[in-house]
């Protein structure tokens, strides 16, 4: 049972033979199909292949040189399992290990999708900050953990690291906008919520200096940087290896969103020292995650070059 990438190529007829030649020449290609005249828009042929992850970059780079991005299309789909002896043989023949293979085009698309400032991203970030504020007000670590899991901030942080390492200025700009605009907006909505909650008597604010369960959020120190660095490294490894389950551990190990929510609540009650510490915790987490994720990506890129 092998995990492969399904590649579909829409190609002009005069490039079809070259596409087939490229795919036949790759040891990581398990299955190859040709449908002449099957493409309607743009008109042409369709070539499909099942390719091991280790060989995907080689195949995609070769196909890109034919100008198919402009004259046709290249589609990549991940197939979790393929029951085929040919696929198993192709996986064994391809250099490297499937779990260590990085499909760069797939990584760029995934980080681009998760780093866009849109209604979905802003809504999740705002809800996470609101949960964090409630967790602070009620001194509830369970609610704080919920805010950590809901927060979508790792997407643009990972995208920022990818953009910096691969020198994709558009990705850097996109992810930076998501962070620079998203966090202040979410914190502003949280401040309005906190004010309304006090007006309507939903919560009774008192000093937050005596909190016992959630005071770790603003406790800035060397451990804060260590946790951020480890979380960023683990998160990037999870993205590169498609081990999405590991991302949950990343989400609940850093205090980015909780720090933002804590800063809002602290400012509402006039505890400016704690508000400043919370903002510092937020900054340390953001910087630590991006730097460590970038280092991991650089190391993996050196081991598995594009």
Residue-averaged pLDDT of the chain? 85
Q: In this predicted model, which residue has the larger pLDDT, 250 or 195? A: 195
Top-confidence residue, 239 or 174 = 174
Residue 305's pLDDT band (cuts 50, 70, 90): very low
Domain with 35, as residue range(s), is 2-98
Q: 6: number of CA atoms within 13 Å, CB side?
A: 9
* pLDDT band per the 50, 70, 90 thresholds, residue 120: very high
- Asked if residue 234 and residue 134 are part of one domain, the reply reads yes
For residue 99, pLDDT beyond 70: no
| Predicted confidence band of residue 244 (pLDDT cuts 50, 70, 90) | low
Which pLDDT score, from 0 to 100, does residue 140 have? Answer: 84
Domain total in the chain:
2
Calculated CA dihedral for residues 242, 245, 246, 252, nearest 10 degrees: 140
Question: In a 3-state reduction of DSSP, which class is residue 102?
Answer: coil
Q: Are residues 178 and 256 in the same domain?
A: yes
Question: What is the value of pTM for the model shown?
Answer: 0.80
pLDDT at 221: 81
Indicate whether 93 and 134 sit together in one domain. no
Instruction: Provide the pLDDT for residue 284.
Output: 92
| In a shared domain, residues 15 and 156 | no
Q: Are strands 73-82 and 43-52 parallel, antiparallel or unpaired?
A: unpaired
Instruction: Name the percent of the chain lying above pLDDT 70.
Output: 89
Does residue 270 share a domain with residue 133? yes
Residues 72 and 127 in one domain: no
Closest C-alpha among 268, 150, 148 to residue 208: 268
Residues 157 and 292 in one domain: yes
pLDDT in tens, 190-235: 999 888 887 777 766 665 666 667 777 877 888 888 989 998 898 8
Q: Are residues 81 and 112 in the same domain?
A: no
Whether 294 contacts 165, CB under 8 Å:
yes
Measured CA to CA in angstroms, residue 248 lies from 23, 133, 146, 241 at distances of 37, 21, 11, 15
Measured CA to CA in angstroms, residue 207 lies from 174, 199, 212, 267, 270 at distances of: 39, 17, 12, 11, 9
271-297, pLDDT tens digit by residue?
888 889 999 999 999 999 999 999 999
More confident call, 90 vs 243: 90
Last residue of a domain, one of 79, 98, 117: 98
Examine the fold and report which residue of 38, 72, 98 is the final residue of a domain before the chain moves on. 98
What was the pLDDT predicted at 241?
74
Are residues 166 and 221 both part of a single domain? yes
Query: At which of 98, 117, 145 does a domain end?
Result: 98
Q: Do 82 and 124 have their domain in common?
A: no
Q: Specify whether 287 is located in the same domain as 153.
A: yes
For residues 9-15, average pLDDT: 94
Q: Residue 164 pLDDT more than 80?
A: yes
Sign of CA dihedral 85, 91, 97, 98: negative
Same-domain status, 118 and 84: no
Q: Residue 121: its pLDDT value, please?
A: 93
* 16: CATH: 3.30.70.120
User: What confidence tens digit (pLDDT) does each residue in 121-142 have?
Assistant: 999 999 999 999 988 888 888 8
């Amino acid at each position: 049972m092998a995990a492969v990438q399904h590649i579909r190529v829409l190609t002009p007829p005069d490039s079809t033979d070259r596409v087939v030649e490229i795919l036949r020449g790759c040891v990581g290609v398990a299955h190859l199909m040709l449908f002449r005249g099957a493409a309607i828009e743009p008109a042409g042929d369709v070539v499909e292949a099942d390719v091991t992850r280790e060989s995907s970059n080689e195949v995609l780079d070769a196909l890109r040189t034919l100008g198919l991005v402009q004259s046709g299309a290249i589609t990549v789909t991940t197939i979790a399992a393929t029951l085929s002896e040919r696929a198993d043989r192709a996986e064994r023949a391809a250099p490297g290990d499937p779990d260590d293979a990085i499909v760069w085009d797939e990584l760029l698309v995934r980080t681009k999708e998760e780093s866009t400032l849109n209604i979905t991203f802003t809504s999740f970030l705002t809800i996470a900050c609101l949960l964090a504020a409630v967790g602070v007000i009620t001194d509830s670590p369970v609610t704080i953990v919920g805010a950590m899991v809901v927060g979508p901030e790792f997407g643009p942080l990972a995208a920022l690291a990818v953009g910096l390492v691969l020198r994709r200025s558009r990705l850097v700009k996109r992810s930076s906008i998501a962070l620079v605009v998203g966090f202040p907006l979410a914190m502003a909505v949280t401040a309005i919520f906190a004010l309304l909650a006090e007006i309507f008597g939903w919560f009774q604010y008192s000093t937050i200096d005596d909190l016992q369960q959630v005071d770790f959020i603003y406790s800035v120190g060397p451990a804060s940087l260590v946790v951020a660095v480890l979380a960023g490294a683990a998160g990037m490894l999870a993205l590169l290896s498609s081990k999405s389950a590991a991302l949950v551990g990343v989400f609940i190990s850093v205090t980015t969103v909780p720090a933002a929510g804590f800063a809002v609540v602290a400012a509402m009650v006039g505890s400016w020292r704690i508000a400043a510490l919370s903002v510092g915790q937020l900054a340390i987490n953001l910087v630590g995650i991006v730097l460590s994720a970038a280092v991991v990506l650089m190391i993996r890129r050196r081991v598995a070059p594009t």
